[in-house]
Structure 1
Amino acid sequence: MMAGEYLDLVRSVVEMLSQDETTLDAIIEGARVRDEVPFAVMRAKRTIETLIEDVGNFVSSVETPEARRVLRELVEDLNKALKELEECQKNSEKCYSGNEVDMECVDCHYEVLSEVTDDLIHGAKTELKKISHSLKKKSEGGALIKSKHEEYKNAHAEAKKLMEFIKSLDEYSNELNAISMVFDNVSGSSIAPAEIDDKAIFILKLLLELAESGAYVGEVLSALTGLKSVTADPVDKEVKIDLPSKDRMKDSEEHSLPLQTLFYRYPPFEPISLEDENSVSGSRVWFVKIKNIAYYKHGPKMYVHPQSIKDLGFDPRNLIHDASLSNAYETTGAIYPEHIFKIKPVNVLEAKDGYIILAVSLDSRRQERVYIKYGSEFLKRAVKRNLNRSAIRDLYINELRKKGHRGKTYEPTDLTYAWYCTSGYGLSTDPLDVRCPFKGWCKYGNECGGRKWKRTRRIFPKVFLDVERSYSGIDNTNGFFSPIVGRNVLIEEKYPSAHLSMPESGLPVVFKFKVPFRRSLPKTNVIGFRIAPEFLELVVRTVLDEKALQSPELGKVLKYELWKGGPEVKLGDVLLTKFFIYDKAEKGFKTYDLLRRRSKSLIESYLRMRENLLVKSMPYNRLYFKRFLRWASEAILHSLAHAFLSYVSVELQIETSNLVYLYDERAGLVLVAENSPIGSIDIIGALNEWCRSKGIAENCYGRFIEEFLRRELRFLRDHEEDTVQYADRVKSVVSSVSGENDLEGLRKAIIELYKEFLEKGLVLDVHSLSTHLLLSSAGQSNLERLIEEKGLSVDTQKAHRYFDDVLLTAIPNYCVDGCTTCVVIDRGCTAGLGQTYTVSRKLMEFAIGVLLGEYPLRGPGGSYLKKLLGIARESVEAMSPYLDDEGIETLVELVEKGIHVKLSTRPEFVREYGEKLREAGIEVTEVRGEHDKWYCLDGWLLIKPTANMNLESESYNSFVIKLGGCK
């Protein structure tokens, strides 16, 4: 920030502090309302776009003509609503410009969204309910007629399917209603004046808080500069939380932490690993109201509403149990840090029985739940008797002996450790739960009988918050590849849920918050780049193209060995497998349900997905293929975002904790922003300093990005060699198991099964294959089923005991397409447990290679060239010996878009088309004896294809791209 800007900022804050309290409150609330507008505009558009896609996909699965008609009409009406929303912004993008809200645009958005929810969605739901009811009556009426049994069975299934979809329409309607409330609040509020900057508002709030609590000079300076006086970390809004104290005179101490730090150190649903006044660790937990709670146990009974545990202090009015909240969240549909006055974690030992049990719903249709027990009745009694740690331990050992436990004993006063179900359906911190406490409630309890309860404890799994980031204030960019540098960008983080991964099984458990948390960075700085989405689409199409695999230059990168001397796989198959798990397992969060299927069923489901997606490398179901393209583009951008954040951190010497990444698959953006509400780190100043230190005067931002791409490509290639060596070492270390004949037979059976998967194009990594083999269906694991089907003599207990060693000698492909080393997946990853299915090391490597001219794109010449030329934003210079009518029309269309076009071609084509081209405003130059073909976009992107401008031809061609200039 320049000195003049800083002084203006301080002056603005001082002027506001001279106002009375009522005026200050109005200014702060007005600024908050104002800042929500651009995000509400974006969320409205994207929610309707996603709804259109979901309805379009659902139509293809519906058999009833009347229902199909209703759904198609809904899609048409929603597309019209999207156009109306765009029309709303004709005078101001996102209804917001220069700190000023366009009220006409806001009112227009409110009216359109009201029409979508009250008329379009409500009308469609009403009609679909009638159709579903009619189908249900039909199925009931004919159930006893044998000849009609199949027909009525299908009618019942169709009715059920429609009712399930109506529920999803309800969710969309609720989401759009929450967004429209933002616009309604803007209309009913006094907006902060445009001349009051968001940075000033942020500093004002910090100073007002300091005034209430008593401030030191250093704290005031930190608030004014945006940097902490000692550590130089960015200042952020902090949340108060009561944490356990060892002092017996007071059971807790108040701490203040930024929201991100709070979520990482002390997330909800995870026992806090600090000792309390009774020397017990993990007795404190804080809870957030969630949508997918099934029930909880308190005493001998089961209750439906966890917020009614009154003796734990759970307040049914609060979204955070036992926390002090302002009422602001009711109007904003979100909990911001400033709404939380204090979080007071629950002491679970103070519950009536010393514990609570949450039952978290995984799948309401299948009634699958995970049971989590916090606390211990035994420990509550021991603490009540004021026993010391040694006495509690002696008592604990006696209790274990009474239960017949002869295994290892653990520290009974540490509730941060848990017993668990190896299938993932139960978790208990009670030190006495050596046997499953949930078998009477668990869906699989009768079948399992508690046999899958682990006889050893592990640390309670880490809970991670899921985060979604959005932005406003970045100028529209287009073109093929553009560096982005922006100041005063508004970024918002939304935390809609939390998740943990169950020990051993890896079963993901998601806590879906009733109301999300939000955190704003009102005015921060970003650097990054844009890659044209059209280019990303061509990259993905090339990967899937069977003809591209035949070319020597692409065969080496689009096909590769899984390990040294191992089977060769296609990158296209790897991507399709990832998408299969992502799509069928709800973004990877229900991999358990998918992978528990029998091997044959898993293959059949995968092949159906492929048939629905592709026929001979060409799209079959276009809507579904579009969904795949968007997923693959997102995988490239997400992978690049992680890698770029690491590069920025190293090159500009900024801690990764002071940075956040964003990516936008619709716009093709990859951004790294300061994790600072008012941009106090000055990442752009650091980038300018980097340019000076390198002696780069021209196009430094572009050079910075290009250097990133080159370094990342080198790293990925070097890492490929490391993974091959790793697989070799793993195989040699555990190869001793092959000496036992019964295990060798099992090893060969696993190899045969894996080969069968690969032949069908299903490429699982070690973790996915392991999960598939160990999971059970119909009371038998797939591993046990494999042993039975192959007639192997190996004992099943021995097979399970040595399973990891056997698997790693059979399939040492730890890193098929991205692991924590290849793409840096740290605590800031926005995808959470689904990150494996939203990044791709191999696809990123190929995309970077194409950008740097190391690999070509390959595909139908006419359509590919047309897409590439359409990416230009300023100029196109074309050298094409041959032309046709469609090529001419394409050049004319470019001129009509305001792009300067220059064409060099043979004399005969100048004679035939010259007059028409010049009239359109195209510079035409005659060349003789020229056979080269090239196209220069915006003066610095060179495309060298094998295709001429005869675009009617769809003959197969290559396209080599070179960044940095056309000479």
Structure 2
Amino acid sequence: MTGEYNYLDLIRSVVDLLSRDLDEIEEIIESARVRDEVPFAVIKARRAIENLIEDVEDFESEIESPEAREVLEELIIKLQEALEALDKCQKGSEKCYSSNEIDMGCVDCYYEVLSDIADDVIHGARKKLKKMIRRLKKGSEGGALFKSQKEKRKKALGEASRLHDFIEDTLNERANELNAIAQVFDNVSNPTNLFENIDDRTVFILRLLLELSESGVYVGEVLSALTGLKSVTADPVDREVNIRLPSKNSEKGYYEQSLPLQTLFYRYPPFEPISLEDRDGISGSHTWFVKIKNTDYYNHQGYMYVHPQSIKDLGFDPRNPVHDATISDTHETMGAIYPEHVFKIKPVSVLEAKDGYIILAVSINPKKRERVYIKYGSEFIKEVLKKKLNKQSIRDIYVDELRKKGHRGKIYEPTDLTYTWYCTSGYGLSTDPLDVKCPFRKWCKYGNECGGRKWKWTRRIFPKVFLDVERSYSGIDNTNGLLSPIVMRNVRIEEEYPSAHLSMPESGLPVVFKFKVPFRRSLPKTNIIGFRIAPEFLELVVRTVLDEKALRSPELAKVLTYELWKGGPEVKLGDVLLTKFFIYDKAEKGFRTYDLLRKRSNSLLKEYLWMRENLLVKSMPYDGRYFRKFLEWATKTILHSLSHAFLSYVSVELQIETSNLVYLYDEREGLVLVAENSPIGAIDIIGALNEWCKANGYGDGNCYKSFIEKFFRKELEFLQEHEEDTVQYADRVKSVVSSVSREDDLKDLRDAIINLYNEFIENGLVLDVHSLSTHLLLSSAGETNLEKLIAEKELGVDIKKAHRYFDDILLTAVPNYCIDGCTTCVVVDRGCTEGLSQTYTVSKKLMEFTIGVLLGEYSLRGPGGSYLKKLLGIARESVEAMSPYLDDEGIETLIELAEKGIHVKLSTRPEFVREYGEKLRKAGIEVVEIRNEHDKWYCLDGWLLIKPTANMNLESENYNSFVIKLGRCW
């Protein structure tokens, strides 16, 4: 399927350009690359400034110095002014870009604003803060001091240290980021006639053909490049990289495989040992790395511990004889490696490295100097391989070595380096089969604290690595309305991979590898289908969920409160969301969950209640900054959850493999999109959608809306069935007779855990099973919260026994495996843009409520005047209103709609026609008189029916319900 694009014209265009001079072709390709960066640089610029504002606001709330707070407040004001200036830059153009035309005035304006922020605004704030640091340090100097003076000095030094870290970690990094984005605008030259009548697909294929010619080209590869398809199976062409993989059969000991960059990341992620046997029969002997920011370097007693900051490209410092690991022929622009310039990735064979292994020390909390240590390889395996021993002989020697070290447990295969020894607290991981004792104690402060007692080995393979993905788009027309289908061709999508995540065994501690230079991948001309939900509507959904008054409605109380399991505690959806946001916000998007959940149970609850009061009492009623932050998170959570579900729906309905699709969402615009994972739109999902319409008997006019409506109905049905499944699962768990119910000491511990969990829930803190488990097993000052609970309740259970049976105890205490999202409903194993933090940015219950409101199954409830005004403001074409009663504000709202070009028709009682009729008709509003009619309804765009309990008395803030129905109004 080729869709609407004429591929014969495309081939002619490519052939014509290939006849030109090579320098001219390269100039076209390079100019196109720079030009295509513009719309994404526009997006990144706004995002960078908004992120900086958020960083400054968060830091301002932590710092105590009035002078510092004044500087930070001034910085926030200037950054907000910069955002307004960027809006003015774009007047008359969309992202400084339209088709092949660049708005150079907009480009120059962006460059000036960004340069001013980086060079003047941030520099000025940095200069003032550095002066304060010097004053604080100078003021803390002195001789013998009284205790109160010592405390004051300590406080001043702490404040100075925080200011220093803020300058280094935030202001400097953000300034560098803004300078890099400004450089993109500076690189854009004045438009020339180079691109006249040249399609982006042509430029993409030219670039691909030139790369093929450098590596040796075959006819089939040329045809693939020209058609955008690898074969008759319609797999889309994407740029590929060659990775050298271990082989047990090859004489060379390796073979090369070509893979698209995205496939490479998912099949052989960086930092994860490759589960293939080499010619020596060793699995996991190869891995490959990416230069990362958050690492440390060690050279200890003759051993060199490599850190990627000393790596060149992706290779190691030449002083260290680790095999090369490079991405060759790369070039950087805007701090990114472009995959189209990547040809080879060579893995590192850690067996041949110095001493047979390397160690990475990854910083997980710079402020507390916390690191996670990961050891790859094995000196023992290297030595026995030199003797050319077979696998059985290696195993025999290994067993003897373990016995010498006092190990009496089960023995696993020593030649499989994908199995790991690990720290149960999450601070270390080793593939070396002889590491029966923690090899990191000389560096790890927790290793010294626990004496290595938390080090163990079970049948645990190296944890999976997940890639963090940021997707941006350009070329999507603006849409309005409460719910609008989006079906478009020729959309440009850019992917950026800024980091990788893994979850440490048993503990679940998230580890983030922050790439020094993010990978980038582009889909220059692809096709998308999706929909837009008005952000104003999503805001009303979230407000309804949080509003305690809304729960007074028996109908909504059934939806917004639910039992965690049959006969179990009842929770409010609002509390579930507040708990997720609490972890997301206080634990830095979920990546500092350890620091948060390590707190004692009473401290954790106290901090949650403080956050809750700050949000619901001090911020929400006044539409404050903190509530807006929650609202942004909740909107993102709805759209992210819908994106996961919609991708699956599109794959099933249109019979397209999920690997050939990608999703993205935009919380600012309310967009949920699924695009084909094809650079030039070769799969043609729009053609597949049109075929679906014909097969299901839909006409051209309403098919896309029907496709979206069917998605919502199927998803709501699935979520409701899934809820029943979780209840049945909990019943089965409770009916299982286990050791917990037979032994009194374990039963007492189970009851204590249940009581603690109920105390959390009564105060609105609704932890899922994983978070509760993590909280209980984490330690502070050498004692886990589980041990603390046993001591406080004076339970007669042995500590070792409690840990041994902990999983069984927790399973019967909290038998719901899916409190608000699991891999069966909204969580995905692979392909999520959020990596490990997706747990805190998806919600099955919030998605279910949102869909239910859209389909009229559930109602919105809130202050009638403000809610109705927001809903009416969503219309884009027409509003037909039936309202027996009116007031002045209701009339003004209808007139404002008419002034926007929206067709408005009002049906109301005779007395209101007499009072307001002339004024309404002058505004172009059609007025109809009705008698003996008490119904109230509003039809938006002929497709969306709103049935409220509210009239057009918009000055009233009485609580009202709003039922929405999709489809034709009548």
**TM-score range for the pair, normalised by the shorter chain length:** over 0.9
Q: Identity across aligned pairs (percent)?
A: 77
Residue 386, structure 1, aligned to residue 385, structure 2: no
Per-residue displacement from partner, 1:520-564 (whole Å, max 9, x unpaired)?
A: 000000000000001001001101111111211111110000001
1:686 corresponding residue in structure 2: 688
1:352 corresponding residue in structure 2: 354
**Does the 8 Å contact 1:142/1:148 carry over to 2?**
no
**Does the 8 Å contact 1:862/1:950 carry over to 2?**
yes
**Does the 8 Å contact 2:292/2:308 carry over to 1?**
no
**1:707–1:306 distance in 2 versus 1, CA, 3 Å:** closer
Q: Superposed, which structure 2 residues align to 1:633-712 within 5 Å? A: 633-697=635-699, 698-712=701-715
**1:151–1:917 distance in 2 versus 1, CA, 3 Å:** farther
**1:22–1:605 distance in 2 versus 1, CA, 3 Å:** same
TM-aligned CA deviation for residue 4 of structure 1: 6.5
Counterpart amino acid of 1:920? A
Q: 1:534 aligns with which of 522, 533, 536?
A: 536
Counterpart amino acid of 1:566? G
Q: Superposed, which structure 2 residues align to 1:515-664 within 5 Å? A: 515-615=517-617, 618-619=620-621, 622-664=624-666
How far apart, in 1, do the equivalents of 2:283 and 2:289 lie? 17
Residue 361, structure 1, aligned to residue 363, structure 2: yes
TM-aligned CA deviation for residue 840 of structure 1: 0.3
How far apart, in 1, do the equivalents of 2:46 and 2:310 lie? 38
Q: 1:187 aligns with which of 183, 186, 189?
A: 189
How far apart, in 2, do the equivalents of 1:153 and 1:282 lie? 49
Deviates more, 1:189-198 or 1:64-73: 189-198
1:116 corresponding residue in structure 2: 117
TM-aligned CA deviation for residue 336 of structure 1: 1.7
How far apart, in 1, do the equivalents of 2:515 and 2:404 lie? 41
1:887 corresponding residue in structure 2: 890
TM-aligned CA deviation for residue 642 of structure 1: 0.6
Per-residue displacement from partner, 1:365-401 (whole Å, max 9, x unpaired)?
A: 1111111111111111122222222322222222222
2:828 corresponding residue in structure 1: 825
Counterpart amino acid of 1:963? L
Counterpart amino acid of 2:10? L
CA RMSD of superposed structures (Å): 2.3
**1:846–1:105 distance in 2 versus 1, CA, 3 Å:** same
TM-aligned CA deviation for residue 338 of structure 1: 1.8
**1:919–1:620 distance in 2 versus 1, CA, 3 Å:** closer
Per-residue displacement from partner, 1:245-264 (whole Å, max 9, x unpaired)?
A: 33563132222110011001
**Does the 8 Å contact 1:598/1:782 carry over to 2?**
yes
TM-aligned CA deviation for residue 62 of structure 1: 4.1
Counterpart amino acid of 2:488? G
TM-aligned CA deviation for residue 2 of structure 1: 4.8
Counterpart amino acid of 1:901? V
Deviates more, 1:688-697 or 1:18-27: 18-27
TM-aligned CA deviation for residue 615 of structure 1: 1.8
How far apart, in 2, do the equivalents of 1:775 and 1:435 lie? 20
Provide the TM-score with structure 1 as the length reference.
0.96
2:343 corresponding residue in structure 1: 341
How far apart, in 2, do the equivalents of 1:402 and 1:191 lie? 77
1:510 corresponding residue in structure 2: 512
Q: Superposed, which structure 2 residues align to 1:38-53 within 5 Å? A: 38-53=39-54
| SS of the residue 2:367 aligns to | coil
**1:925–1:461 distance in 2 versus 1, CA, 3 Å:** same
**1:636–1:306 distance in 2 versus 1, CA, 3 Å:** closer
2:861 corresponding residue in structure 1: 858
Counterpart amino acid of 2:586? K
TM-aligned CA deviation for residue 453 of structure 1: 0.6
How far apart, in 2, do the equivalents of 1:620 and 1:778 lie? 41
Q: Superposed, which structure 2 residues align to 1:790-809 within 5 Å? A: 790-809=793-812
Q: Superposed, which structure 2 residues align to 1:307-322 within 5 Å? A: 308=310, 314-315=316-317, 322=325
Deviates more, 1:82-91 or 1:758-767: 82-91
Structure 1 runs not aligned, ≥5 long: none
How far apart, in 1, do the equivalents of 2:193 and 2:342 lie? 23
Per-residue displacement from partner, 1:833-891 (whole Å, max 9, x unpaired)?
A: 11111000000000000000111100111111111111111222222222222222222
Counterpart amino acid of 2:672? V
Deviates more, 1:584-593 or 1:65-74: 65-74
2:8 corresponding residue in structure 1: 7
**Does the 8 Å contact 2:619/2:627 carry over to 1?**
no
How far apart, in 1, do the equivalents of 2:178 and 2:149 lie? 42
**Does the 8 Å contact 1:881/1:905 carry over to 2?**
yes
Q: 1:835 aligns with which of 831, 834, 838?
A: 838
1:64 corresponding residue in structure 2: 65
TM-aligned CA deviation for residue 904 of structure 1: 2.2
Q: Superposed, which structure 2 residues align to 1:99-114 within 5 Å? A: 99-114=100-115
Per-residue displacement from partner, 1:16-38 (whole Å, max 9, x unpaired)?
A: 11123222221211111111111
TM-aligned CA deviation for residue 411 of structure 1: 2.0
| SS of the residue 1:577 aligns to | helix
How far apart, in 2, do the equivalents of 1:298 and 1:135 lie? 36
How far apart, in 2, do the equivalents of 1:880 and 1:59 lie? 48
**Does the 8 Å contact 1:30/1:191 carry over to 2?**
no
**Does the 8 Å contact 1:99/1:195 carry over to 2?**
no
TM-aligned CA deviation for residue 963 of structure 1: 1.3
**Does the 8 Å contact 1:876/1:935 carry over to 2?**
yes
**Does the 8 Å contact 2:937/2:946 carry over to 1?**
yes
Per-residue displacement from partner, 1:489-520 (whole Å, max 9, x unpaired)?
A: 00011100011111111111110001100000
**1:355–1:457 distance in 2 versus 1, CA, 3 Å:** farther
1:285 corresponding residue in structure 2: 287
**Does the 8 Å contact 1:464/1:499 carry over to 2?**
yes
Per-residue displacement from partner, 1:218-277 (whole Å, max 9, x unpaired)?
A: 322222211111542111000111112335631322221100110011111111122222
**Does the 8 Å contact 1:100/1:194 carry over to 2?**
no
How far apart, in 1, do the equivalents of 2:836 and 2:385 lie? 37
| SS of the residue 1:383 aligns to | helix
| SS of the residue 1:353 aligns to | helix
2:913 corresponding residue in structure 1: 910
Residue 403, structure 1, aligned to residue 412, structure 2: no
Q: 1:771 aligns with which of 771, 774, 786?
A: 774
Per-residue displacement from partner, 1:183-207 (whole Å, max 9, x unpaired)?
A: 1222389795142212112222222
Per-residue displacement from partner, 1:919-949 (whole Å, max 9, x unpaired)?
A: 3332222323322221121221111111122
**Does the 8 Å contact 1:370/1:509 carry over to 2?**
yes
2:234 corresponding residue in structure 1: 232
TM-aligned CA deviation for residue 73 of structure 1: 2.4
Counterpart amino acid of 1:870? G
TM-aligned CA deviation for residue 591 of structure 1: 1.1
Deviates more, 1:171-180 or 1:640-649: 171-180
**Does the 8 Å contact 2:777/2:784 carry over to 1?**
yes
TM-aligned CA deviation for residue 410 of structure 1: 2.3
Per-residue displacement from partner, 1:161-220 (whole Å, max 9, x unpaired)?
A: 433333312222121111111112223897951422121122222222333333333322
2:426 corresponding residue in structure 1: 424
How far apart, in 1, do the equivalents of 2:807 and 2:183 lie? 53
How far apart, in 1, do the equivalents of 2:200 and 2:339 lie? 16
Residue 78, structure 1, aligned to residue 79, structure 2: yes
2:131 corresponding residue in structure 1: 130
Per-residue displacement from partner, 1:396-451 (whole Å, max 9, x unpaired)?
A: 22222221222222222221221111111111111111111111211112211111
Counterpart amino acid of 1:358? L
How far apart, in 2, do the equivalents of 1:54 and 1:377 lie? 44
**1:64–1:616 distance in 2 versus 1, CA, 3 Å:** closer
Structure 2 runs not aligned, ≥5 long: none
How far apart, in 1, do the equivalents of 2:600 and 2:143 lie? 33
Deviates more, 1:2-11 or 1:497-506: 2-11
How far apart, in 1, do the equivalents of 2:62 and 2:888 lie? 41
**Does the 8 Å contact 1:879/1:933 carry over to 2?**
yes
Residue 781, structure 1, aligned to residue 784, structure 2: yes
| SS of the residue 2:336 aligns to | coil
Aligned length: 964
**1:409–1:150 distance in 2 versus 1, CA, 3 Å:** closer
Q: 1:713 aligns with which of 708, 712, 716?
A: 716
Deviates more, 1:929-938 or 1:829-838: 929-938
